Amino acid sequence: MTPIEQSDKRDDHQSRLASVGQIAAGIAHEVRNPLTAVKGFLQLLGEQTPHNYIDIAQQELDNAIVTLQNLLNVSRPDAESEPMVGFSLCAELEAILGLFQDQFYRVAVNKHFTDGTTEIVGRRNQLKKVFFNILKNAFEAIPGEGTIEIGHSLEGDSVRVSITDTGVGIPQDKLAMLGTPFFTTKTDGTGMGLAYVFSSVYQHGGTVDVQSVEGQGTAFTFHFPIRGTKERDLAFMDLLYEQDMKLGEFLKINRGEFEHCLLAEAENVKGIIEDIKRIGGIDLVQNAHILVGLLIDQNDWEIINFAQQEGKLWAQHSSLNLAVKLEWFQAIRRVLWSFMYNFDRLSGNESTREQFFSLERQTNNSLDTFLRHFFMSYTKFKDDQIKSHKEMIDDLSVPIIPLTSSVSILPLLGMIDSHRIHVIQEKVLQQIGLLKIRTLLIDMSGAAFLDTTNLRKLSRILNGISYMGVKAIITGIRPEVANTMINSKVIIDRRIETKGTLQQALEQLGLNLN
Ligand code: ADP
Ligand code: MG
């Protein structure tokens, strides 16, 4: 086919698709929504009074909704707006082929892949669907045994992919119908596959050629422009742009695409956005827009405020992982830069080196300001939280429990380290005054470990209590503690009593617990 013919055919297809697209969009709004509502009511009905007709009706409705969705996808395959990335079609073809393994017993597949590292620029999943549809048709066209040849090669500045089958072929008069939505010769066909293929390939700046001989087979040949050196590492995006637009406006009208790219970048965050909204009431997507807006306005003071707010919110919810926030932040940074690149590209007046580096400084400075203040506020809140937790734990670790108006008990539990000793000293002296304690029982049967230094300190506290006129009774001294006392010659004031068990001490005080 000559280039003119090629483009005629393409325009023809595109106008046909465009008119179908308009109808589809109209239908979708008018019909899909009520259908979805009907489905909802049916479900409610089904829950009240189950009936198998309801199940059938729901299935039929599902089919209708899927058909509408397919029609929409065909008319606008990029509606799912995937980011454009550089990738090799070879790898994708290999992966798709794997989905047809159950056919390999009857159809031989021969691959002729060369130039496997050559990349094209495109929407990876969209093109995956394209080749899935082509291969599906090829397998379906072969009634019994047959062969499919798949080729990949570099041809000038485009990648050529060919898929040839030894199937039933297509009659010459039907060739022109290919790509028209709903055109199918299969009893259970939808006629959507090729329509999707054609419009997707055109959107990628590619071409499709079909050669077919009835009874012999069909060959589909595709050409896609290869990724030039200029596009390397930079994402070329189809974004809206109007003459003399400001970066802020550009980001605003491409808001949807920005969100989409952000979610694609932050792979691990994507799935938990809803959870984060539910748990912490934090809307990450919304916050990304706010941050970007502040960056564009270069409002550093607001950035700091926002960062502090966010840091605190994040710290308040222990279930929110900091790694998630970091990944999200990095995704914002990356996507913002790709958008700035595309803005620069679309605006046509390419910036000078000085302009670029000044923009780089400004943007990265502001982003760093955000991150710094986020972490400062996060850490401060966490530190405060830890401090107040510690105070609470300290309080709980030295419980002085009043038994009568003058008798209290202090059970020492667990590890008694120098920090605990310190807390014990403060609390005991304070509580003695407060509770007017005359007798303090100190039960050590639950104390796990006491080294010489801490034992000395403890004995000093006990002696102090005695000096204050309080009778101290120590119970439950464990053999290892007694040993340390003897070995380190700890002297206890003679007014301090010791008793084997807490029970004995209570009995002596006339406090029978039985
Ligand atoms: P469907 O597969 O649901 O019929 P498609 O849009 O994928 O819809 O294909 C439309 C029609 O094009 C098919 O019904 C078939 O008649 C014809 N066709 C497509 N690919 C081939 C092929 N490789 N060999 C023969 N006929 C084909
Ligand atoms: Mg098909």
One DSSP character per residue, 22-50 reads: HHHHHHIIIIIHHHHHHHHHHHHHHHHS-
Ligand 1: residue whose CA is nearest its atom 20:
137
User: How many whole angstroms from 231 Cα to the centroid of ligand 2?
Assistant: 33
| Phi, psi values for residue 412, rounded to 5° | -95, 120
Ligand 1: residue whose CA is nearest its atom 11:
184
Mean pLDDT, rounded, for 380-394: 86
| For residue 307, pLDDT beyond 70 | yes
The pLDDT-based confidence of 95 (bands split at 50, 70, 90) is confident
Most trustworthy range by pLDDT among 46-55, 101-110, 378-387, 491-500: 101-110
Contact partners, residue 507, CB within 8 Å, separation at least 6 = none
Contact 237, 84 (CB under 8 A): yes
Lining ligand 1 with CB less than 6 A are 133, 137-138, 141, 165, 167-170, 178, 183-186, 189-195, 218
| For residue 70, pLDDT beyond 80 | no
d(CA 123, CA 117): 17
Which atom of ligand 1 lies nearest, measured to the CA of 183?
10
Which atom of ligand 1 lies nearest, measured to the CA of 188?
3
Question: Residue 472: helix, strand or coil by DSSP?
Answer: strand
Most trustworthy range by pLDDT among 428-442, 478-492, 499-513: 428-442
- Amino acid identity for residue 253 in this structure: I
- DSSP letters of 128-171? HHHHHHHHHHHHHH-SSSEEEEEEEEEETTEEEEEEEE-S----
Could you tell which of 13, 100, 137 is best to mutate to test the pocket of ligand 1, judged by most ligand atoms within 8 Å of the CB?
137
For the segment 119-151, what is each residue's pLDDT rounded down to a tens digit? 998 888 889 999 999 999 999 999 999 999 999
CATH topology assigned to domain 81-233: Heat Shock Protein 90 (3.30.565)
Ligand 1: residue whose CA is nearest its atom 21:
137
Contact partners, residue 183, CB within 8 Å, separation at least 6 = 177, 191, 194, 195
Q: Report pLDDT for 427.
A: 87
User: How many whole angstroms from 5 Cα to the centroid of ligand 1?
Assistant: 23
Q: Report pLDDT for 514.
A: 60
CATH topology assigned to domain 398-508: Transcription Regulator spoIIAA (3.30.750)
The pLDDT-based confidence of 219 (bands split at 50, 70, 90) is very high
Q: Which ligand is nearest to the CA of 141?
A: 1
The pLDDT-based confidence of 52 (bands split at 50, 70, 90) is confident
d(CA 287, CA 3): 49
Which atom of ligand 1 lies nearest, measured to the CA of 133?
7
Task: Please write down the HEC assignment for all residues of 399-453.
Answer: CCEECCCCEEEEECCEECCHHHHHHHHHHHHHHHHHHCCCEEEEECCCEEECCHH
Mean pLDDT of the chain: 85
Ligand 1: residue whose CA is nearest its atom 16:
185
Which atom of ligand 1 lies nearest, measured to the CA of 189?
3
* DSSP letter, residue 227: P
Neighbours of 26 (CB within 10 A): 10
Which burial class, exposed, middle or buried, applies to 73 when counting CB atoms under 10 A from its CB (0-12, 13-18, 19+)? buried
- Amino acid identity for residue 272 in this structure: I
